[in-house]
């Protein structure tokens, strides 16, 4: 499947399970063994959809409700940008189907520092996202078991929800894929119930004002889009895990586009239905908007409980996939000497050190945000990930533009070149727009994270140069 316009140079047809060099723990890139298994198109698509449709859709209708129904316009614009990113990642993975995604693309095009910056920013995005997902899941757990009445009970619940998927990852990629497929199937029941069924109970009076904020309409669209971006994080999932995908040059692009388009359709219908079934003043303060929507549709509380349970399963599955992704990029960077060597260790197909470090950092961030006492923990975490996610997205789209401009004439399809240059430009402009919408506080915190990474790079690059020099002397 060709998703962009350059024609790759002739090369041997990719094998279903290509050979890979041994890693420090003795495993190979194919991660063979009875506890590991390479993903086909269904599981790769489920990984994309499962990571995209996680905590975001179940909580974000309430998060953007204060902006009014103008946020639906932001959803539409965001979908165009997400599809553009999906097409860019699909083509980049076709060109270079190694594990690591944006890190691999940025490093191959611009060198070690750009690659490290993409890996560092994406790594921050994954573990901060895990903390945000766990906080969102607690809102639905509270429908089943009251935990939000006390700060520490909510914090403990969020920590348990993070560590259970981590344990599944330690068991191996075979179990990660199985959990992801089951969770993706289960989550569609409540989503389709609200997205399709809610249209029959739609009441325009529930929509509230079109523009509820005090600022400009463009500012409201940008601000709501910055929050909504969190619901599209994961579009790069198949590309990041390309080394664990069968026939990645073909499968990654197809899984990315199919998964993103399917998620976008569910998102738009689901958000519209929630807006039309839950009164605006109630939706603004809701911690479980989909449960409130089902209760409004059918009356009573049973429907809300069922949706809360399904949402909890969905978010746990999303945490399962994001936990794997959080370790894949540091793993790829560690193999190149740009992350500490322990991150390159794998067991049963999973970079276990990366999983362990990530879940510990996400847990510490969760505890910090609950102890800080902020009533908007989810929104704060979402905006930080919005900024950090744009760094690898921008570097990846810049790499695509670089390849399109620098390509040899005999390797470029002129018709597709124009199309793909437009797509890459849309993806880059979309990412820059999201940086502006994230707000000063999120950019400030995100830049601090990035600058801390520059110091880490200085140490790792120096060690890498010393190691290379020692190897050359031999």
Lowest mean pLDDT across 27-31, 43-47, 278-282, 393-397: 27-31
pLDDT digits (tens, 9 = 90+) for 388-399: 888 898 999 999
Pairwise pLDDT comparison (18 vs 249), residue with the higher score: 249
CA distance 176 to 67: 37
Q: Is 231 exposed, middle or buried (0-12, 13-18, 19+ CB in 10 A)?
A: buried
CA distance 5 to 27: 36
Question: In the prediction, which pLDDT does 395 show?
Answer: 92
Question: In the prediction, which pLDDT does 178 show?
Answer: 64
pLDDT digits (tens, 9 = 90+) for 310-345: 778 777 777 877 787 788 888 888 888 888 888 888
Please answer whether residues 279 and 273 qualify as being in contact, where contact means their C-beta atoms are separated by less than 8 angstroms: no
Distance of CA 425 to the CA centre of its chain: 21
Question: In the prediction, which pLDDT does 27 show?
Answer: 35
Question: In the prediction, which pLDDT does 24 show?
Answer: 32
> What single DSSP character describes residue 100?
T
Please answer whether residues 56 and 232 qualify as being in contact, where contact means their C-beta atoms are separated by less than 8 angstroms: yes
Please answer whether residues 135 and 369 qualify as being in contact, where contact means their C-beta atoms are separated by less than 8 angstroms: yes
Enumerate residues 6+ apart whose C-beta is below 8 A from 103.
115, 116, 118, 119, 122, 329, 332, 333, 392
Tokens 């129904």 sit at which residue? 69
CA distance 132 to 369: 10
CA distance 325 to 345: 15
Lowest mean pLDDT across 15-29, 87-101, 163-177: 15-29
pLDDT digits (tens, 9 = 90+) for 76-111: 888 888 888 888 888 888 788 787 788 888 998 899
Distance of CA 62 to the CA centre of its chain: 20
Question: In the prediction, which pLDDT does 252 show?
Answer: 79
Query: What average pLDDT does range 286-315 have in this prediction?
Result: 76
Band (12; pLDDT cuts 50, 70, 90) = very low
Q: Where are the alpha helices (DSSP H) in 284-351?
A: 289-298, 302-335
Using a pLDDT cut of 70, give the percent of the chain over it: 77
Kindly state the tokens that stand for 2.
């060709």
> What single DSSP character describes residue 375?
T
Kindly state the tokens that stand for 67.
């902006």
Q: Is 430 exposed, middle or buried (0-12, 13-18, 19+ CB in 10 A)?
A: buried
Of 315, 345, 361, 394, which is closest to residue 117 (Cα–Cα)?
A: 394
> What single DSSP character describes residue 14?
P
Average pLDDT, the chain: 76
Pairwise pLDDT comparison (46 vs 453), residue with the higher score: 453
CA distance 264 to 223: 19
CA distance 30 to 141: 37
pLDDT digits (tens, 9 = 90+) for 403-418: 888 864 544 556 678 8
Band (360; pLDDT cuts 50, 70, 90) = very high
> What single DSSP character describes residue 39?
B
Question: In the prediction, which pLDDT does 32 show?
Answer: 43
Pairwise pLDDT comparison (145 vs 187), residue with the higher score: 145
CA distance 94 to 79: 23
Question: In the prediction, which pLDDT does 374 show?
Answer: 55
């Amino acid at each position: 499947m060709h998703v962009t316009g350059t024609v790759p140079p002739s090369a041997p047809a990719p094998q279903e399970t290509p050979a890979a060099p041994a890693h420090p723990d003795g495993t190979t890139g194919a991660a063979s063994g009875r506890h590991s298994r390479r993903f086909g198109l269904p599981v790769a698509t489920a990984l994309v959809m499962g990571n995209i449709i996680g905590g975001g859709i179940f909580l974000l209708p309430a998060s953007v409700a204060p902006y009014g129904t103008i946020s639906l316009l932001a959803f539409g614009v965001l979908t165009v940008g997400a599809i553009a990113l999906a097409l860019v990642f699909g083509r980049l993975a076709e060109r270079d189907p190694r594990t690591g995604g944006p890190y691999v693309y940025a490093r191959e095009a611009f060198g070690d520092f750009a690659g490290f910056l993409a890996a560092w920013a994406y790594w921050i995005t994954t573990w901060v996202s895990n903390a945000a997902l766990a906080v969102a899941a607690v809102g639905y757990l509270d429908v089943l078991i009251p935990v939000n009445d006390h700060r520490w009970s909510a914090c403990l619940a969020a920590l348990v929800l993070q560590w259970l998927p981590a344990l599944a990852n330690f068991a191996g990629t075979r179990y990660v894929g199985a959990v992801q497929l089951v969770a993706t199937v289960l989550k569609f029941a409540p989503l389709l119930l609200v997205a399709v069924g809610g249209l029959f109970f739609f009441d325009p009076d529930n929509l509230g004002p079109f523009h509820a904020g005090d600022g400009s309409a463009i500012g409201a669209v940008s601000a709501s889009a910055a929050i909504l971006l969190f619901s599209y994080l994961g579009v790069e999932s198949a590309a990041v895990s390309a080394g664990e995908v069968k026939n990645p040059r073909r499968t990654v692009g197809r899984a990315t586009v199919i998964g993103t388009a399917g998620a976008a359709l569910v998102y738009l219908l689901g958000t519209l239905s929630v807006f039309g079934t839950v009164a605006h003043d109630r939706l603004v303060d809701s911690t479980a908007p989909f449960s409130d929507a089902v209760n409004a549709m059918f009356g009573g509380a049973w429907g809300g409980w069922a949706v809360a349970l399904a949402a909890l399963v969905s978010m746990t599955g999303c945490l399962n996939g994001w936990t794997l992704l959080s370790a894949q990029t540091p793993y790829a960077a560690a193999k190149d000497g740009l992350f500490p060597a322990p991150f390159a260790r794998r067991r049963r197909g999973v970079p276990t050190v990366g999983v362990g470090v990530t879940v510990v950092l996400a847990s510490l961030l969760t505890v910090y945000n609950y102890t800080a006492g902020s009533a908007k923990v989810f929104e704060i975490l979402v905006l930080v990930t919005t900024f950090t996610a744009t760094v690898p997205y921008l570097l990846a789209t810049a790499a695509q533009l670089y390849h399109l401009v620098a390509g040899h004439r005999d390797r470029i399809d002129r018709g597709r070149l124009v199309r793909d240059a437009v797509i890459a430009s849309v993806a880059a402009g979309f990412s820059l727009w999201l940086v502006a919408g994230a707000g000063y506080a999120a950019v400030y915190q995100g830049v601090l994270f990035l600058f801390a990474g520059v110091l880490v790079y200085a140490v790792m690059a120096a060690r890498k140069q010393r190691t290379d020099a020692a190897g050359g002397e031999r």
